[in-house]
Amino acid sequence: MPGRALPFAAASSLPALVLSLLATASATPQTDADRVVAAWVARLPASVRQLPPLLDLPSAQHPFVFHHLRKAGGTTIRRALYDVSRQLQLSAHIPCHTVACTVYSPPPRDSSPRFAILGGHYHRPTLQRWLGEDGSGASRRAGCLVMLRSTVDRVRSCWNFRYVQEPMSFGLQPLAPRLHAVDPRALNASLPTLRSVHGEGCNNEALRVLSSVGADEEAVGRLTAGEEWSPLAVGALDEALGQLSQCAVVLLDRCGATMRVIRHWMPWLAAYYDCSTQRVQVGTTARAALSADAERIIRTHNALDERVYAFAVRKLDAQLRLINGTLPPAAKRAVSSLPLDERAEHRPRQGVRVAASGLRRPSASVAGSHARAGFRFR
């Protein structure tokens, strides 16, 4: 392989040759990736303590972003966020509710108001530039939430929905057979190349949303698909875990833990969202067991997403430890230093509508500036 020969040809002396051999022997992209995960896991207690408790309602100055990973239970959260925005009169950018479903990025800043709540398939690095463009040069720290789902279930759901069910619902031919009926060689070849009617594949959704590589559909689909990993793979993983570290994390398959996290960090959402009533969109396609080969191929192509998911499980547990009060005292001080009325709101009772409680609404001046910008609250 010509790519392989290059470092050896360039090594003009024996020590250089030995060094380059040692370098290639000691670090594979897989071990580098595991090291990246370990480094972010080590920072988890600190990053969980630093999560901004979003006890106040979101506002244009302190917006809230839900990053909807496709086929991970986000549709129900988006509906709940829309309900919040209507009930509490907060400006919202929620594709499928306040703008077209096909909108994946916030509108150009100069033609639009700020939004208090954003929820969609946003590419986070792009969205962060949008959030940072506030004219003062200061980047505001938005609260954010990400929900993840285990890899094989997510890919199966993506495949059966995007390639089979959705085209049929548009009166088109399915783009592929149902996943359990695809032969492993064909699956291996088509996972990086097949695209939904919206132009996305099913590999590496967490990297698609949370890393810069995600803006390049061709690259994100192939990060770990070939004989060798893409040179972008480890850096993209590092970036995605860094982004995830800034957000509250919940998991589709851990409803009880998910609700505890939402009640703790986003009490205003907890009154509108209940994952125990959430019906996962299993779709109309039959659910049949996948072969071990098919599962292995999915995990190979999504080796980075697998690591992001494993990290998310660790993060969810760290968040629960903070809520349970089993993180070191520094973690508790953040809560006890809150004003009393906010502490009272910290664990809203089930069934209490936030609108009826004392949570703060956006100030009149914010509402006024939206009105001046011609924006209607929904």
Residues that bind ligand NAG (CB under 6 A): 185, 188, 226-227, 297, 317, 320-321, 324, 326
CB of 326 to ligand NAG, least distance (A): 5
Q: How far apart are CA 274 and CA 1, in angstroms?
A: 54
Q: How far apart are CA 202 and CA 352, in angstroms?
A: 39
Residue 184, C-beta contacts closer than 8 angstroms, at least 6 positions apart: 291, 293, 294, 297
Q: How far apart are CA 363 and CA 286, in angstroms?
A: 50
Residue 352 has which token pair?
């209490």
Q: Which of 304, 323, 246 is nearest to 44 (CA)?
A: 246
CB nearer ligand NAG, residue 107 or residue 256: 256
CB nearer ligand NAG, residue 76 or residue 151: 151
Q: Please state the length of the chain.
A: 378
Residue 286 has which token pair?
């039959």
Bridge partners (DSSP) of residue 95 are 99
CB of 95 to ligand NAG, least distance (A): 34
Which DSSP symbol is given to 119?
Answer: E
Q: How far apart are CA 97 and CA 190, in angstroms?
A: 33
To which residue do tokens 């793979």 refer? 233
Q: How far apart are CA 250 and CA 275, in angstroms?
A: 11
To which residue do tokens 């800034």 refer? 246
Q: Angle at Cα 66 formed by Cα 61 and Cα 68, nearest 5°?
A: 150
CB nearer ligand NAG, residue 133 or residue 217: 217
Name the 3-class secondary structure at 197.
Answer: coil
Radius of gyration of the chain (CA): 23
Residue 200 has which token pair?
């996305």
Residue 329 has which token pair?
């005292």
CB of 227 to ligand NAG, least distance (A): 4
Name the 3-class secondary structure at 308.
Answer: helix
List strands edge to edge, sheet with 64-67. Answer: 92-93, 117-120, 64-67, 143-148, 248-251
Q: How far apart are CA 184 and CA 335, in angstroms?
A: 51
Are the C-beta atoms of residues 236 and 215 closer than 8 Å to each other?
A: no
